């Protein structure tokens, strides 16, 4: 056991070994055997300390670090059961649903700004809250037909404009971890996929159409008789082109009784009666109601003098929308059955591999969407064991998450920082050491907010009042008096500042110029109304800098406009700039370009196979060093617990430092760190400022953003 870290020094080894050793789960036993068979000689790193585990599990399950109160709660529980207990507690937290919605947003490439995208995100959130089996979730996304927003699932194929070629690639890559997209243009160079396989897959989507009414902008999908997927694919082929017959290119295993997990799944599902699914299709009246408002808006803008009602009706009646919405896609039903079949090994393996990667930091198959013969899993037996258990337990996502975080693998220590690179990699590939993982951007944002006590006010009301004077122009009304100030025309040298403040109603204490660090909450439960229909969420968006600029330019043009008279006024604004931040888990997703979340690697979710970018960039550094979020999180608020330790007659600076380390790093400082921190605090103009300096450093350092 000492083989790989006797260089560490005895004290370190003892400290590592002293941490509690958990009972090896079944997964660990299978993995250990597999490692032994593969001739792996190294010993695993011991389990990380309780507090390191606590930080890891909080960030992984609910996307933020624990607060001091939560650390204490955990420490008060019995040592033998506290790790299991905290898992159960966090999985019941509402943030668990939000955090794992983000996982599926990345995997399924969900976007609030795509057609029906916000409704689809709400649908996934709801599916997680109901613990919908994963196979059902996938099936519903693949078969849906209907109107964007009204039938939330249809947002999935609308995200790629229901294009058969795109959907063939997406289905294979997202649900089966396989890149067959290359076979669209040529036989796959490194794999078995032929062009026929790709077109056979695409053919399942060949009769599906995205329809958009030119007048009402209502978007829906429907089925037609004629497929658009033709073979041979080349338009100038010598042979005549015919519609391609759908064919599923992935192996479906025989059910000859030898696959025990199939029997277990059948047994689990047998007693349950099939639920009657409410027909999600829209009625003509629904569409008309919707069309009406949209047409009114457009007429108001364009002024083309049409009767909106009549036009909308004419437009909609032209197509037998009721019938087409009701039409089910036979082909896609068949495809969904094959994709989600328990006898299609790729389906469960793909999800298990993705989930394992998310929690452990490394997939059995890497990259996670490149399953193929030449790229075998590092531990095929373990992957299959977990996959079969996942299937046998009814594709239960909570079961899978819980199983993984209860393994020894999840709890292992990182390789010590003086381990040779090659050795470290060996350890990580064999899952004997935890790889260095950076928090995803949402977790980083929310962890800074948590550490800095910014979810609630930490300054008394009025302590941060800012008085600004602004010159504004308001259009004169007919009687010559200024109009209401609600939409001031901006004027003078600082238009951006005012705009940033006006960007969203729900933004508390937003400071000029820092809009890219704000998070405006979008309530998942309210995106879908009682009827399950998407409501407008545009107003809840954070405006990107470009949008702000566009708005500013528009206003500038309006301000130049002829025929409107303006009154110039100087107004005094008093704002209580008491900082308070919202969670980033509920905002528009993906965030606008340039937003904190995007800068720290949130994907655009346009590209297929786009992973979270974990590279470090100068923009990240500028945002962390000079941004408002880190600055406000570092500043000590009088209402924070640490303030009372720094002020008053008997200040307790060491106590305050320990608290800062626990709140920000989820650990106690070492003796050396404590004395170093005392110097930092003492060297500042005041203990409050010194504490702010210390906290700023802690929030900015690598240890904060990389998980222990």
Partner 1 sequence: MACAGYFATRRAMLAATGASILGMPVRHLLANAGKDHVQKAEHVILFWNGGGMTHLDTWDPKPGRPTQGEFQPIKTSAPGVEISEIFPQVAKQMHHAAIVRSIAGTQGDHGRATYQLQTSYLPGPNLIHPGLGSVVAHEVPNMGDLPAYISISGFAPRAGYLGQKCEAYYVGNPGEKDPYLAFPEGIAEVRGNRRLEVLERFNTRFAGTKQDPRLSDTKTSIDDAVRLMRSPALEAFELAKVDQATIDRYGDNPFGRGALLAKRLVDKGVRFVQINRGGFDTHTGNFPAMRAHGEVMDPALASLVADLAADGMLEKTLVIMLSEFGRTPNVNANAGRDHHAAVFSCFMAGGGLRGGQVIGSSDKDGYEPHDRPVKVPDLHATVCHALGIDPAKEVMTPLQRAMKLVDGGETVKELFA
Chain positions 501 to 560 lying near partner 1, rule: CB under 8 A, are: 513-514, 545-546, 548-550, 552-553, 556-557, 560
- Looking at the DSSP bridge assignments, the partners of residue 482 are 476
Residue list 103-132, contact with partner 1 (CB under 8 A):
109
Residue 76 or 618 having the CB closest to partner 1: 618
In whole angstroms, how far apart are CA 8 and each of 14, 50, 270, 367?
10, 21, 55, 33
> Does 613 sit near partner 1 (CB under 8 A)?
yes
Distance CA 602, CA 618 (A): 16
Instruction: Compute the least distance from the CB of residue 28 to partner 1, in Å.
Output: 26
Cβ pair 435, 617 in contact under 8 A: no
> Does 169 sit near partner 1 (CB under 8 A)?
yes
In whole angstroms, how far apart are CA 520 and each of 106, 271, 447, 505, 586?
20, 44, 17, 9, 7
Report the half-sphere exposure of 356 (CA within 13 A, side-chain side). Answer: 29
Cβ pair 566, 453 in contact under 8 A: no
DSSP 157-207: HHTTTT-HHHHHHHIIIIIH----GGGGTS--TTSS--HHHHHHHHGGGTT
Residue 380 or 683 having the CB closest to partner 1: 683
Identified binder of partner 1 from the candidate list 210, 217, 298, 494, rule CB under 8 A: 494
> Does 618 sit near partner 1 (CB under 8 A)?
yes
Judged by CB under 8 A, the number of residues near partner 1 is 78
Identified binder of partner 1 from the candidate list 241, 247, 398, 619, rule CB under 8 A: 619
Instruction: Compute the least distance from the CB of residue 174 to partner 1, in Å.
Output: 10
Residue list 565-604, contact with partner 1 (CB under 8 A):
593-594, 599, 601, 604
Instruction: Compute the least distance from the CB of residue 365 to partner 1, in Å.
Output: 15
Residue list 383-422, contact with partner 1 (CB under 8 A):
416-421
- Contact region for partner 1 (CB under 8 A) — 378-386, 441-449, 644-652, 693-701? 693-701
Cβ pair 573, 488 in contact under 8 A: no
Identified binder of partner 1 from the candidate list 29, 485, 564, 621, rule CB under 8 A: 621
> Does 616 sit near partner 1 (CB under 8 A)?
yes
> Does 606 sit near partner 1 (CB under 8 A)?
yes
| Residue 232: cis peptide before it, omega within 30 degrees of 0 | yes
> Does 614 sit near partner 1 (CB under 8 A)?
yes
For residue 349 the two structure tokens come to 């393996």
- Taking residues 313 to 352 in sequence order and writing x for each that binds partner 1 by CB under 8 A, - otherwise, the string is ----------------------------------------
Distance CA 639, CA 622 (A): 29
Instruction: Compute the least distance from the CB of residue 481 to partner 1, in Å.
Output: 29
DSSP 200-258: HHHGGGTTEEEEE-TTT--EEEEE-SS---EESS-TT-SSPPEEPPP---S-----SS-
Residue list 172-191, contact with partner 1 (CB under 8 A):
179, 181-182
- Contact region for partner 1 (CB under 8 A) — 217-225, 340-348, 387-395, 613-621? 613-621
Distance CA 640, CA 643 (A): 6
Distance CA 460, CA 685 (A): 22
Residue list 422-481, contact with partner 1 (CB under 8 A):
424, 436, 438
Of 500, 503, 522, 523, which Cα lies nearest the Cα of 513? 500
- Contact region for partner 1 (CB under 8 A) — 78-86, 128-136, 353-361, 620-628? 620-628
Identified binder of partner 1 from the candidate list 24, 381, 567, 684, rule CB under 8 A: 684
């Amino acid at each position: 056991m000492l083989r790989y870290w006797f260089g560490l020094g005895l004290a370190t080894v003892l400290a590592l070994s002293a941490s509690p050793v958990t009972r090896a789960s079944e997964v660990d036993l299978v993995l250990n055997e597999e490692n032994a068979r593969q001739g792996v000689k190294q010993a695993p790193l011991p389990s990380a300390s309780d507090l390191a585990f606590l930080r890891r599990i909080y960030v992984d399950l609910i996307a933020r670090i624990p607060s001091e109160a939560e650390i204490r709660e955990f420490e008060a529980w019995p040592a033998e059961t506290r790790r299991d207990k905290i898992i159960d507690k966090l999985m019941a937290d509402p943030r668990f649903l939000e955090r794992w919605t983000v996982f599926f947003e990345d995997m399924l490439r969900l976007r609030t700004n795509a057609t029906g995208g916000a409704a689809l995100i709400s649908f996934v959130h709801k599916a997680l809250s109901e613990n919908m089996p994963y196979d059902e979730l996938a099936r519903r996304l693949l078969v849906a037909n209907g109107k964007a927003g009204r039938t939330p699932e249809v947002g999935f194929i609308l995200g790629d404009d229901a294009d058969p070629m795109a959907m063939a690639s997406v289905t294979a890559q997202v649900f089966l971890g396989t890149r067959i997209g290359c076979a669209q243009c040529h036989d796959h160079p490194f794999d078995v996929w032929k062009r026929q396989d790709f077109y056979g897959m695409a053919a399942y989507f060949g009769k599906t159409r995205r329809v958009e009414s030119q007048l009402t902008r209502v978007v829906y999908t429907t089925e037609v008789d004629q497929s658009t997927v033709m073979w041979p694919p080349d338009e100038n082929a010598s042979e005549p082109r015919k519609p391609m017959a759908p064919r599923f290119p992935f192996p479906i295993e025989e059910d000859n009784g030898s696959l025990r997990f199939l029997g277990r799944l059948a047994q689990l599902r047998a007693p349950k009666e099939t639920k009657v699914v409410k027909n999600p299709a829209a009625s003509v009246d629904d569409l008309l109601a919707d069309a009406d408002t949209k047409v009114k808006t457009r007429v108001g803008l364009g002024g083309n003098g049409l009767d909106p009602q009549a036009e909308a009706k004419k437009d909609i009646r032209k197509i037998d929308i009721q019938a087409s919405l009701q039409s089910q896609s036979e082909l896609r039903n068949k495809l969904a059955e094959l994709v989600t079949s328990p006898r299609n090994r790729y389906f469960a393996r793909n999800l298990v591999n993705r989930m394992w990667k998310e929690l452990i930091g490394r997939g059995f198959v890497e990259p996670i969407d490149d399953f193929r013969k030449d790229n075998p899993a590092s531990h095929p037996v373990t992957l299959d064991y977990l996959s079969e258990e996942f299937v046998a337990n009814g594709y239960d996502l909570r079961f899978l998450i819980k199983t993984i975080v209860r393994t020894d693998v999840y709890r292992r220590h990182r390789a010590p920082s003086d381990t040779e690179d090659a050795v470290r990699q060996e350890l990580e590939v064999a899952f004997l050491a935890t790889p260095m993982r950076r928090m995803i951007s949402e977790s980083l944002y929310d962890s800074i907010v948590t550490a800095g006590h910014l979810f609630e006010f930490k300054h008394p009301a009025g302590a941060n009042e800012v008085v600004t004077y602004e010159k504004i122009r308001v259009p004169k009304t007919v009687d010559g008096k200024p109009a209401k100030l609600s939409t001031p025309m901006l004027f003078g040298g600082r238009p951006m500042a005012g705009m940033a403040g006006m960007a969203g109603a729900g933004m508390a204490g937003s400071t000029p110029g820092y809009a890219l660090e704000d998070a405006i909450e979008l309530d998942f439960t309210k995106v879908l109304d009682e009827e399950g229909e998407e409501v407008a969420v545009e107003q809840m968006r954070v405006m990107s800098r470009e949008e702000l600029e566009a708005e500013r330019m528009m206003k500038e043009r309006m301000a130049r406009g002829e025929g409107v008279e303006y009154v110039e006024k100087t107004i005094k604004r008093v704002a209580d700039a008491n900082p308070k931040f919202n969670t980033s888990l509920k905002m528009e997703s993906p965030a606008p370009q340039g937003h904190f979340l995007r800068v720290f690697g949130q994907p655009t979710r346009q590209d297929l196979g786009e992973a979270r970018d974990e590279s470090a960039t100068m923009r990240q550094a500028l945002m962390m060093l000079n941004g408002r979020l880190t600055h406000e999180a570092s500043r000590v608020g009088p209402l924070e617990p640490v303030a009372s330790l720094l002020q008053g007659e008997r200040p307790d600076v060491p106590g305050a430092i320990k608290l800062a380390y626990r709140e920000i790093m989820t650990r106690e400082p070492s003796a050396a760190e404590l004395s170093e921190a005392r110097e930092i605090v003492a060297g500042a103009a005041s203990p409050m400022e010194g504490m702010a300096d210390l906290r700023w450093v802690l929030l900015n350092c690598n240890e904060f953003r990389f998980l222990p």
